[in-house]
Chains A and B, each alone.
Chain A
Amino acid sequence: MSHATRAGSPRESERARADAWTADEMMTVAASRALRDGARCFVGIGLPSTAANLARRTHAPGVVLIYESGTLGAKPASLPLSIGDGILAHSADAVVSVPEVFNYWLQPGRIDVGFLGAAQIDRFANINTTVIGDYDRPTVRLPGAGGAPEIAASCREVIVIVRQSPRAFVEQVGFITSIGFGSGPGDRERLGLRGGGPRLVITDLGILEPHPDTCELTLTHLHPGATVERARAATGWNLAVDPCLRQTDPPTDDELAVLRRLEATKGTIDGVVRTPPDPATA
């Protein structure tokens, strides 16, 4: 799938249509398009899981979803709230233990795409999900590494989904939880990492890709309605812009309908939407 603009679509009407979806929806749709049919994909919970499940229901029915809870080839009828919802196990090709999913499936390089979120990401696509501030006296303690360091190291490529803001897009992360390109070209090779590293960073404003020579994240696509100025203002470094900057295709009606149906089923047991009971009174 291409992110490129359809030739000749008038800017004004695109901007008008942009009111018909949210920036988060555009981000999720753009991320889902980045998954090719048949790809074996290690999926993080949250935005990556939503995008991967959208891909499976639209252009990539054969995408293989792998969750760190040990489900290989999960085909959930509803969007899981956690990586361990029962629906993932019941719909999977195989359920394996946690040591096995990391040692036998991820570590040897059997996974094509690692699909990650991030609290912070920097110019060289290094990810921080550990702490903001000093490690021993953090301003904000974040959840930590989870499966991400080895996903970022071992998958053939990595796609990151993260909302763009100056707090999230920093010149250099204070803590590298999962490595992107380290301090620049050649670092991954020097460290002996087998996977190729980040290929795309998809945000609510556009798409960034590592420059082939410098590895620096460069804005290559803007979503409809977004501007270079806004993208720059939401980035904590002097953001490079690709000379051939393109516009992302707006979400199709089908993509939006499927995505909204998915979101409505999040955390339900079987894809049936119910009003959740209040446990305080249950």
Chain B
Amino acid sequence: MAEIVPLAEGISRLVHDGDTVALEGFTHLIPVAAGQEIIRQGRRDLCLVRMTPDIVYDQMIGAGSARKLIFSWGGNPGVGSLHRFKDAVQHGWPQPLELEEHSHAGMANRYVAGASGLPFAVMRGYTGTDLTRHTDTIKPITCPFTGEVLTAVPALNPDVTIIHAQRADRHGAVQLWGLIGVQKEAVLAGRTSLITVEEIVDELEPVPGAVVLPSWSLTLVSCVPGGSHPSYADGYSTRDNAYYRWWDGISRERERFTRWLDDEVFGRAPTGAPEEAGRA
């Protein structure tokens, strides 16, 4: 059964230096508060996994949390570049960042294999691209039935997968809806999981198209209202597009970014105070 804990406790229990950590959420439901708590706790040498390392990973990479990134698209969606990510790759600041680069379809299939308890996934993909020359986790495989040459990608099984969802019940079952992305697969692929939620309720009322993750399939749940900002939680908030544009300016220069980090991450108390989780 999942345990309901404050966010700071959840991060300190599940995220360790050197771990492989996936924070998922495809534009919607990005666990930004959890990422900032990882920065606040000073975790280092993480292998970060995420299809679209947007603002949350820009912050973690700029703060020096990561040694490696497994990803498929690293930009500020609708705005432009991720400047901290670019600075790490182009100039090794604040430290060099090893890349393992895939396509969205490849990353999604790697999570599916991880969630399915299989060593790899089979797909039609990457054919004719130079990704196959630089990423050694992309290999050809011959179909034993038809002889067709397809592509294999290995399973992803993060030490911990962290997602944000709309709500949980008091037993720790989690419900999410709207753009559900790859979160279910990422959670089931993870060896452990931490889910931040907007609220904890007595009963999970059915919502059309919702994903429900039973309490026994999860490790820890934390109540962090607004924990996905500037991303959003359908039914609770809307995407703060102005913030994504504003981040472009903050992240462009090291000094301004460092100031932001000191003020907005290190200068603030952890989100999800114990009494908030204690209401559960």
Chain A residues packing against B (C-beta within 8 Å): 45-46, 68-71, 80-86, 88-89, 95, 97-99, 102-103, 106-107, 130, 135, 138-141, 143-150, 153-154, 175-179, 182, 187-188, 191-194, 267, 269, 276-280
Contact = CB atoms under 8 A, between A and B. Distances in A.
Given A86-B232, A144-B72, A146-B104, A192 B149 contact: yes
Given A103-B112, A140-B90, A267-B78, 13 more contacts: A69-B27, A69-B179, A81-B244, A103-B109, A103-B123, A141-B89, A141-B90, A145-B102, A149-B103, A178-B129, A193-B128, A279-B242, A279-B243
Nearest to B51: A98
Contacts of A106: 105
A194 to B, nearest CB: 8
A107 B105 contact: yes
A270 B124 CA distance: 37
B26 A69 contact: yes
A267 B230 CA distance: 13
Contacts of B28: 69, 84, 86, 89
Given A69-B27, A98-B26, A86 B234 contact: yes
A82 B238 CA distance: 12
Contact of A267 (B71, B101, B241): B241
Given A69-B27, A69-B28, A141 B85 contact: yes
Contacts of A130: 101, 130-131
B246 interface: yes
A81 B130 CA distance: 29
Interface string B225-267: 0000010101000111111111000000000000000000000
A145 B104 contact: yes
A45 B101 contact: no
B125 interface: yes
B107 to A, nearest CB: 9
Contacts of A97: 180-182, 184-185
B240 A81 contact: no
B148 interface: yes
A143 B51 CA distance: 11
A95 B211 CA distance: 12
A70 to B, nearest CB: 6
Chain A contact residues: helix, strand, loop or mixed = loop
A9 B261 CA distance: 59
Contacts, number: 183
Closest 7 CB pairs of A and B: A84-B27, A179-B128, A143-B75, A81-B78, A82-B77, A146-B73, A276-B242
A84 B238 CA distance: 11
A95 B128 contact: no
Contacts of A279: 230, 240, 242-243, 246
A193 B149 CA distance: 11
A278 B246 CA distance: 8
Contacts of A81: 77-79, 239, 241, 244
B74 interface: yes
A106 B149 CA distance: 18
Nearest to A45: B78
A178 B72 CA distance: 13
A81 B28 CA distance: 13
Interface residues of B, number: 60
Nearest to A194: B124
Contacts of A85: 27, 239, 241
A175 B179 contact: no
A279 B239 CA distance: 13
Contacts of B77: 45, 81-84
Contacts of A193: 127-128
A208 B241 CA distance: 34
B244 to A, nearest CB: 7
Contacts of A145: 72-73, 101-104, 129, 131
17 contacts: A69-B181, A81-B241, A81-B244, A84-B27, A86-B178, A89-B28, A95-B178, A107-B124, A130-B130, A138-B89, A141-B74, A146-B104, A188-B128, A193-B128, A194-B124, A278-B242, A280-B246
Contacts of B181: 69-70, 84, 97-98
Contacts of B103: 145-150
Residue among A45, A147, A149, A267 with the highest chain B CB neighbour number at 10 A: A149
B153 to A, nearest CB: 12
B76 to A, nearest CB: 9
B183 to A, nearest CB: 8
